[in-house]
Amino acid sequence: MREVLVTGGGGFIGKKVAQELLSRGIQVRLFDLVKSNIKGVNCDYVGSILDPYKLSHVMKGCSHVIHLAAALGVNRTETNRLECLLINIQGTINVLETCVKERVEKIIFASSSEVYGEQPVQPIIEEALLNPKSNYAASKIVGEEFMKAYLETYKMKYNIVRFFNVYGEDQRDEFVVPRFVKNIVNDKHPDIYGEGDQIRCFCYVEDAARGIVDVLSSPAESEIFNIGNDSEPISMKDLASKIIKISNKNLKPQFVSYDDSDRDSHRDIIQRIPSVEKAKKELGYKPKVSLEEGLKKMIGFYEVKNNC
């Protein structure tokens, strides 16, 4: 592997991916709308994946690409639906076109567990029938399909990673774990949408970064891997209570109806538990950080932030 370009390298997962690559002795270039300021990377380019000329310039000489740049978050992808399609579909096509032009050996595409929607069978395996419920999920499926089309047309090698609920310090506040932790650290009740029975499995960001770099480093081709932490499914109301307990606060979760939130009850997924057996067997992937450990790190992060 000569050098890896990480698109979205200034983002929440992208920065950890850069650190993971560097820790394995792999040379890294980053490309994002924002600078990452990660020490040790060869270049930290600022620009958009909607700009093919800039993409060509930053990808020159790279043998591998991890494509993370995307529009995400319910607010952003449902309010600005066209922008989401433009970045996640046209942006991904631009990245693929540039990979062909610059003779990149292999690309890893970051997709999402959102593509599964509601599933009758849990844990969810990679072969499950896709059932997207949102603009964002549909845009990720289109991205996946373009990976397959480029393999057919240009023999472009790829793998797809479907991340399941990644969390950690530095994540934007609109996602559930930082939203709960931030409120609780600031002595505010955490807001739960609906009844709080939605089940998720949360994966600490360093485990997610290890997972995608494991996929990059493996000889696997044209494969899809779920990357998440399958060990501790938890409901939203239990998650809120757990954070309150770890923080040692006297607070209670506050239930908010969907009508008063940015969520849509028809689009909310009730249960989402990943099967990561394929990644465990084929890549030796193993999530290491327990939910309690990850939450403690986040609580510490917000406490320090408050004192600054």
| Cβ 47 to ligand NAD shortest distance, Å | 7
Cα–Cα distance, 292 to 229 (Å, whole number): 13
Distance of CA 222 to the CA centre of its chain: 20
Tokens 């607010």 — which residue? 75
- Of the pair 188, 283, the CB lying nearest ligand NAD is at 283
| Cβ 30 to ligand NAD shortest distance, Å | 10
Which range binds ligand NAD by CB under 6 A, 115-123, 145-153, 160-168, 300-308?
160-168
Helices 91-101 and 135-154, axial angle in degrees (round to 10): 20
Does 12 bind ligand NAD (CB under 6 A)? Our answer is yes
| Cβ 195 to ligand NAD shortest distance, Å | 22
Q: Which of residues 32, 102, 144, 214 is near ligand NAD by CB under 6 A?
A: 32
Residue type at 199 in one-letter notation: I
- Of the pair 174, 187, the CB lying nearest ligand NAD is at 174
Long-range contacts (CB closer than 8 Å, 24 or more residues apart) made by 14-22 = 14/68, 14/69, 15/170, 16/168, 16/205, 16/206, 16/208, 16/209, 17/66, 17/68, 17/209, 17/212, 17/213, 19/209, 20/206, 20/209, 20/210, 20/213, 21/213
Q: Which residue is nearest to ligand NAD (CB)?
A: 11
What SS3 state is found at 28? strand
Any idea what DSSP says for residue 35? Answer: -
Q: Under rule CB under 6 A, how many of the chain's residues touch ligand NAD?
A: 24
Does 13 bind ligand NAD (CB under 6 A)? Our answer is yes
What SS3 state is found at 218? coil
Q: Which of residues 77, 91, 180, 287 is near ligand NAD by CB under 6 A?
A: 91
From the list 76, 78, 150, 158, the residue with the least C-alpha distance to 110 is 158
- Here's the x/- map for ligand NAD, 194-233, by CB under 6 A: it reads as ----------------------------------------
Query: Strand pairing partners for 106?
Result: 64, 157
Does 177 bind ligand NAD (CB under 6 A)? Our answer is no
Q: Which of residues 163, 204, 285, 302 is near ligand NAD by CB under 6 A?
A: 163
Residue 140: count of CB within 10 angstroms of its CB:
27
Q: Which of residues 77, 112, 135, 226 is near ligand NAD by CB under 6 A?
A: 112
Q: Which of residues 5, 6, 10, 95 is near ligand NAD by CB under 6 A?
A: 10
Q: Which of residues 38, 49, 58, 299 is near ligand NAD by CB under 6 A?
A: 49
What SS3 state is found at 254? strand
Distance of CA 40 to the CA centre of its chain: 23
Does 43 bind ligand NAD (CB under 6 A)? Our answer is no
Residue type at 52 in one-letter notation: P
Does 123 bind ligand NAD (CB under 6 A)? Our answer is no
| Cβ 144 to ligand NAD shortest distance, Å | 12
Q: Which of residues 34, 43, 149, 304 is near ligand NAD by CB under 6 A?
A: 34
Q: Which residues bind ligand NAD (CB under 6 A)?
A: 8, 10-14, 32-34, 48-50, 68-72, 87, 91, 110, 112, 163, 165-166
